[in-house]
Amino acid sequence: MNIPEELLYTRSHEWVRIEGDIAIIGITDYAQNSLGDITFVELPEKGAEIKQANMFATVESVKAASDVYAPLSGTINKINQDIIDSPELVNRSPYEKSWFAAINIKDEDEKNRLLKASDYKSYVEGLGRK
Amino acid sequence: MTYIPHTKEETREMLDIIGVSSIEELFKDIKPDLRPKSFDIPKNRSEIEVIRHMQELASKNAAHLTNFLGAGFYDHYIPAAVDAITSRPEFYTAYTPYQSESSQGWLQSIYEYQSAICELTGLDCANASLYDGGTALYEAAMMAIRITGKTRIIMDSGVNLIYRTMLYTYTSNLNIEFVETPVVHGQSSREQIYKHIDERTAAVIVQNPNFFGAIDDHSDIIEKAHSFGALAIMSVYPLSLGVLKTPGEMNVDIATGEGQSLGIPLSFGGPYLGVMACKKDFVRKMPGRIVGATVDKDGKRGFVLTLQAREQHIRRERATSNICSNEALCALRASVYVSLLGKEGIIELARLNHRKSEFAKDILGRVSGVEVKRSSPTFNEFTLILNKNADVVAQKMIDKGFAAGFPLGRFYKGMNRYLLVAVTEKRTKEEIEKFAEALEKVLCD
Amino acid sequence: MRLIYEKSVKGRRGFKLPQPDVPEQEGIPAKFSRKHKANLPEASELDVIRHFTNLSCMNFSVDNNFYPLGSCTMKYNPKFTEKIVKIEGFLELHPLIPQLLGGGRLAQGALEIIYNTEKLLCEITGMKAFTMQPLAGAHGELTGAMLIAAYHKNKGCRRRHIIVPDSSHGTNPASAAIAGYDVIIIKTDKDGCMDIKEFKQKLNKDTAAVMLTCPNTLGLFNTRIKEITGLAHSVGALVYYDGANLNAIMGKCRPGDIGFDVVHLNLHKTFATPHGGGGPGAGPVGVSGSLVKFLPISRVMKRPGGVFYLNYNNKESIGYIAPFYGNFAVILKAYAYMLILGKDGLIKASEYAVLNANYILSRLKDYYKLAFNRRCMHECVFSASRQTEKGVHALDIAKYLIDKGFHPPTIYFPLIVKEAMMIEPTETEPKETIDGFIDTMIEAAKLAETDPEKLTTAPRTMPVKRLDETKAARDLNLRWKPT
């Protein structure tokens, strides 16, 4: 299970990379692996407001549809057209090529609710044991 | 008669393996206080008796009338080959092709049906069928609301009143605003539609040919709808698309229709066939089963149910629709029917319907007491204005052996003397002439 | 096999129209005409017949194969009903005939059948009245949800949510949602039934209804069902019965007697009408006395003199949910089926459906993990979780069954059972067929231990091997296109 050290995470398996007042967000290796072959990604439009812990995108595999939750609140600054055109990127490169969106962070304090890599790692391992 | 094969010995053996002494013991979870208060069902009958009973009941129905009644449901001829195929138990005793490898026959048939609907409508994608033309129109309206995120619908009153009423029923607990615009001289009122269309509009719904049989080119209305970010939905009569300008050519976003005209018997109201097609951008918002082509492990072409993540068995309360069972066997009928007619046959058939209908207009127009509404061109159905109440006239025509048409007074205020008459390829010159004679007698009585 | 479009030969025709017997008329104006012909196939009648006949041979069907598809009740479809729907008096009857002035007398036979079928279903379920209009089970659910909304509206309240257990059919939450309700999901307890404690917590004055399948999708009868209907009624909520599994309880229990207010039935399941490769079905809805006035327009009524008529005058009705009176040809078949079976036949159908299912359960429980270790009703649910440890999934077992000539059970449903395999044999299957199926299932369980590849590479005997569903969803190809 690939869990890069420098990122922050949610319990609903999204990751965040903070770059100043911008946050890049995507779904984790664990998420893509449990979904299976991803066939479709639906993203909000640029300029849309998203709210922490609320659904902001959808990913579909052959036999499942799964919501993606916003790790932070903010305004969509950029979306990744590549994963709309080639959803398989989410399986192949969850942290590099398949970021979902970049947002302008609205509330810095919300970052406190995110998990560090080590905490997310133990959370995921806990799920495996259940 | 039962269809249970078990012998006493087999039943005994099975009970022994289960470890119970009687079948009743298997029902012990249903405690005495849950047992039926009554179960007063007649005792069984033999096949001969049931068939006789059904024949007696059938003989009380008037299937013998010469049919000029349409109103969206038409008396077309069905080639025998259609029944020969759909009577094959390999088709009719299967279910939804969940297991693709053992359902390639069904899956390919549906793929071919989808292809036929795309060809007829001029649109990119079709689903594997919905229940009927009315529920298809309702699903299209819901689809437009989902796509646009808006909740206002403008509906031309040339849309079949039954469908309009169904739409109101289905949406009565939802926050959807409907505006109905009138038909003027048989055609959609541009003036009224443009007056009501705005940024809040999810869709404009029109029908072609409309309920009065009138044909139109709605391209201008559709362009206007698009300019406000609304979708255009068109309800169609699939058989007429052999010749009529297609929804695709008019830039319609979602087309629906009653597919009964494509080889499906009238059968007192069903089963029929809900047709739906749309532009490819909207396919993921479409309800119903969809079949797609793919390849197997060896690279050989095959077919599967696809985009299932839209559907209720996966998405549950957030599915695009609740539909599960559809009308696959009717879709198969449609596919066989258009395959028999072929590229040229569908044109000839549509033209023949139009030609006979125009001939009937001509003959009926000469009957005293009859005025033919000629304000706009029609396909195979048109309106007569009679000198008497159309309900009464239709009633008297029954005694003369004719289902004369659909009296419009019940659906449209002030149209008590209007009769909607349909003429299909089945009606002969002689029948049309006799119809005119009989009508004259009734009107001059 | 090539598509009929790919077999097209220019100039061929499969059906000849008569020569026009009326003079030529002015054509349709060009501006209303299509510019390009629809590219339909050009084929002779034999071409068409052979194409579709060969396609039909690529399907599994009840007449060819054991088809224990759980929750779908794939019982034998008696052939005499096919003969009935083709009688001219039914086949060619225009649905608007009885709506013409004086037209009712010309459809008396058809109206009587609808009326009688309603009455029979009332007696089978213990409901007060039925509408035959819903065109499929899910359509019945939506109708039912709208009836529930009308009932509460009439009482002057707008209740917000419908409760469904997590074992429910996907159609239940979907129907509730599109009718405008929020959906509250209750988890399943250790006995395989809706968790009563959680149910009590979620149930309140905002609950419009509880939708239940009984026996549920795990094939289990909820022994506390009366307690549940009572609790719902105590807060003014209604209880909805999803009749998908009625084939388990005919003559043993009636939803109406135990407090259900709205019921839908699937005529294509319990009443043996063919499934048609996906439909048509029929999903009539029955209601208790307090909901009769909300039933859809029109209703078939009987005058004291025995004349049948259509009643359109019901101001409190929810309105039109179908264009006419339902899928009449399907209703005809179900009616004929009830007549031929009669009281004893219907009871026996449920008894033997339950016997067959328990026999399978008993013989397979040592080889596969039972989802809930209880006797079942008409279907049993196993999990392939033991096999999964060896890398074999429910899907692999399903594909192996195909190679052996059996239609697989429903797999991966109910969603709450990992690697679910839901087996519904129905009453019409003979013991030797069921034994053959069981032996094959046992064989598969053994192969999972010794030679899993036999399973993971199945099927090998079909026209195609396993298909790439991911490719199908990513590179959408939904129609033939002219080249």
Q: Please write the tens of the pLDDT for every residue from C60-106.
A: 999 999 999 999 999 999 999 999 999 999 999 999 999 999 999 99
> Are residues B36 and C257, on separate chains, in Cβ contact within 8 Å?
yes
Interface test with A, best of C474, C476, C478 (most A CBs within 10 A): C474
Chain B interface includes C477 (CB < 8 A): yes
User: Which distant-in-sequence residues (6+ apart) come within 8 Å of A84 by Cβ?
Assistant: A41, A43
ipTM above 0.90, yes or no: yes
- Asked whether B134 and C110 are in contact (CB, 8 A), the reply is no
d(CA B50, CA A25): 67
pLDDT at C478 exceeding the cut of 80:
yes
Q: Residue A41: closest CA among chain B residues belongs to which residue?
A: B284
pLDDT value of residue C483:
83
> Are residues A60 and C412, on separate chains, in Cβ contact within 8 Å?
no
- pLDDT averaged over chain C? 97
> Are residues C17 and B345, on separate chains, in Cβ contact within 8 Å?
yes
pLDDT tens sequence across B83-130: 999 999 999 999 999 999 999 999 999 999 999 999 999 999 999 999
pLDDT at B63 exceeding the cut of 90:
no
SS3 B222: helix
Q: Residue B270: closest CA among chain C residues belongs to which residue?
A: C327
pLDDT at B1 exceeding the cut of 80:
no
Q: Residue A87: closest CA among chain C residues belongs to which residue?
A: C474
Mean pLDDT of B362-368: 97
Q: Which residues are B381's β-sheet partners?
A: B422
> Are residues B119 and C40, on separate chains, in Cβ contact within 8 Å?
yes
- Asked whether B6 and C307 are in contact (CB, 8 A), the reply is no
Distance from CA of C174 to the nearest CA of A (A): 14
> Are residues A62 and C412, on separate chains, in Cβ contact within 8 Å?
no
> Are residues A65 and B284, on separate chains, in Cβ contact within 8 Å?
no
* Lookup: tokens for A46: 């640029």
Interface test with C, best of A38, A59, A62 (most C CBs within 10 A): A62
Distance from the first to the final alpha carbon of chain A: 17
Report the 3 state secondary structure along chain C.
CCCCCCCCCCCCCCCCCCCCCCCCCCCCCHHHECCCCCCCCCCCHHHHHHHHHHHHCCECCCCCCCCCECCCCCCCCCCHHHHHHCCHHHHCCCCCHHHCCCCHHHEHHHHHHHHHHHHHHHHHHCCCEEECCCCCHHHHHHHHHHHHHHHHHHCCCCCCEEEEECCCCCHHHHHHHHCCCEEEEECECCCCCECHHHHHHHCCCCEEEEEEECCCCCCCCCCCHHHHHHHHHHCCCEEEEEECCHHHCCCCCCHHHHCCCEEEECHHHHCCCCCCCCCCCCCCEEECHHHHHHCCCCEEEECCCCCEEEECCCCCCCCCCCCCCCCHHHHHHHHHHHHHHHHHHHHHHHHHHHHHHHHHHHHHCCCCEECCCCCCCCCEEEECHHHHCCCCCHHHHHHHHHHCCCCCCEECCCCCCCCEEEECCCCCCCHHHHHHHHHHHHHHHHHHHHCCHHHHCCCCCCCCCCECHHHHHHCCCCCCCCC
pLDDT tens sequence across A16-69: 999 999 999 999 999 999 899 999 999 999 999 999 999 999 999 988 889 999
Mean pLDDT of B146-160: 97
- Judging contacts by C-beta atoms under 8 Å, the chain C residues touching residue A39 are 470, 473-474
Range 260-299 of B in CB contact (< 8 A) with A: 284
d(CA B91, CA B113): 14
pLDDT value of residue A101:
96
pLDDT tens sequence across C144-201: 999 999 999 999 999 999 999 999 999 999 999 999 999 999 999 999 999 999 999 9
> Are residues A60 and C470, on separate chains, in Cβ contact within 8 Å?
no
SS3 B70: coil
* Lookup: tokens for A124: 């995921």
Q: What b/e string do you get for B140-175 counting C-beta neighbours within 10 Å, with b at 16 or more?
A: bbbbbbebbebbbbbbbbbbbbbbbbbbbbbbbbee
> Are residues C109 and B108, on separate chains, in Cβ contact within 8 Å?
no
d(CA C314, CA A57): 45
Q: Which of C297, C70, C323 is nearest to B130 (CA)?
A: C323
pLDDT value of residue C113:
98
Distance from CA of B228 to the nearest CA of C (A): 25
Q: Is the peptide bond before C298 cis (omega within 30 degrees of 0)?
A: yes
pLDDT at C375 exceeding the cut of 60:
yes
d(CA B339, CA C48): 7
Q: Which of B284, B308, B310 sits opposite A63 (nearest CB)?
A: B308
Distance from CA of C70 to the nearest CA of B (A): 12
Query: E strand or H helix at B183, and its extent?
Result: strand B183-184
Residue C148's identity, in one-letter code, is I
- Judging contacts by C-beta atoms under 8 Å, the chain A residues touching residue C470 are 37, 39, 61-62
Q: State the chains in contact with C (3 or more Cβ–Cβ pairs under 8 Å).
A: A, B
> Are residues C473 and A63, on separate chains, in Cβ contact within 8 Å?
no
Least confident of A112-126, B227-241, C246-260: A112-126
- Judging contacts by C-beta atoms under 8 Å, the chain C residues touching residue B78 are none
pLDDT tens sequence across B264-276: 999 999 999 999 9
Q: Which of C59, C142, C348 sits opposite B105 (nearest CB)?
A: C59
pLDDT tens sequence across C219-241: 999 999 999 999 999 999 999 99
- Asked whether C312 and C298 are in contact (CB, 8 A), the reply is yes
* Lookup: tokens for A74: 């903010």
pLDDT value of residue B62:
84
Mean pLDDT of B45-58: 98
- Judging contacts by C-beta atoms under 8 Å, the chain A residues touching residue B315 are 65
> Are residues B315 and A63, on separate chains, in Cβ contact within 8 Å?
no
SS3 A31: helix
Distance from CA of A50 to the nearest CA of C (A): 22
| Crossing angle for the helix pair B161-170 and B133-148, to the nearest 10 degrees | 50
Topology classification of domain A8-129: OB fold (Dihydrolipoamide Acetyltransferase, E2P) (2.40.50)
- Judging contacts by C-beta atoms under 8 Å, the chain A residues touching residue B284 are 40, 42
Distance from CA of B365 to the nearest CA of A (A): 58
* Lookup: tokens for B120: 């007829």
**pLDDT band, very low/low/confident/very high, at B80 (cuts 50, 70, 90):** very high
- Asked whether C426 and C74 are in contact (CB, 8 A), the reply is yes
pLDDT value of residue A128:
67
Mean pLDDT of C401-405: 98
Q: Residue B310: closest CA among chain A residues belongs to which residue?
A: A65
Chain A interface includes C469 (CB < 8 A): yes
- Judging contacts by C-beta atoms under 8 Å, the chain B residues touching residue A40 are 284, 309
pTM equals 0.97
- Longest C-alpha distance within chain B, in Å? 83
Chain B interface includes C304 (CB < 8 A): no
Interface test with B, best of A60, A63, A68 (most B CBs within 10 A): A60
User: Which distant-in-sequence residues (6+ apart) come within 8 Å of A75 by Cβ?
Assistant: A47, A48, A49, A50, A103, A104, A106
- CA angle B310/B315/B317 to nearest 5° reads 120
pLDDT at A129 exceeding the cut of 80:
no
- Judging contacts by C-beta atoms under 8 Å, the chain B residues touching residue C99 are 410
Q: Which of B107, B80, B130, B72 is nearest to B336 (CA)?
A: B80
Q: Which of C251, C254, C219 is nearest to C417 (CA)?
A: C219
Domains, chain C, with CATH or none: 82-339 (3.40.640.10), 348-469 (3.90.1150.10)
pLDDT at C115 exceeding the cut of 70:
yes
Q: Residue B64: closest CA among chain C residues belongs to which residue?
A: C89
pLDDT value of residue B346:
98
What are the domain boundaries of chain A? 8-129
d(CA C3, CA C5): 5
Chain C interface includes A42 (CB < 8 A): no
DSSP code at position B130: B
d(CA C422, CA B387): 65
pLDDT at A130 exceeding the cut of 60:
no
Q: Residue A66: closest CA among chain B residues belongs to which residue?
A: B315
Q: Which of C412, C469, C474 sits opposite A87 (nearest CB)?
A: C474
Query: E strand or H helix at B67, and its extent?
Result: strand B66-67
d(CA B367, CA C290): 53
Q: Which of B317, B262, B253 is nearest to B286 (CA)?
A: B253
DSSP code at position B278: E
Mean pLDDT of B411-431: 96
Mean pLDDT of B422-445: 97
For chain A, percent helix, then strand, then coil, each to nearest 5?
A: 30, 35, 35
SS3 B13: helix
Q: Is the peptide bond before B209 cis (omega within 30 degrees of 0)?
A: yes
> Are residues C412 and A63, on separate chains, in Cβ contact within 8 Å?
yes
Q: What percent of chain A has pLDDT over 90?
A: 90
> Are residues A63 and B284, on separate chains, in Cβ contact within 8 Å?
no
How many residue pairs bridge chain B and chain C with CB atoms within 8 Å of each other? 700
Domains, chain B, with CATH or none: 8-55 (no CATH), 66-76+344-444 (3.90.1150.10), 80-337 (3.40.640.10)
Range 397-416 of C in CB contact (< 8 A) with A: 412
pLDDT at B148 exceeding the cut of 90:
yes
* Cα-based torsion angle of the residue sequence B398, B402, B405, B406 in order, rounded to the nearest 10 degrees: 20
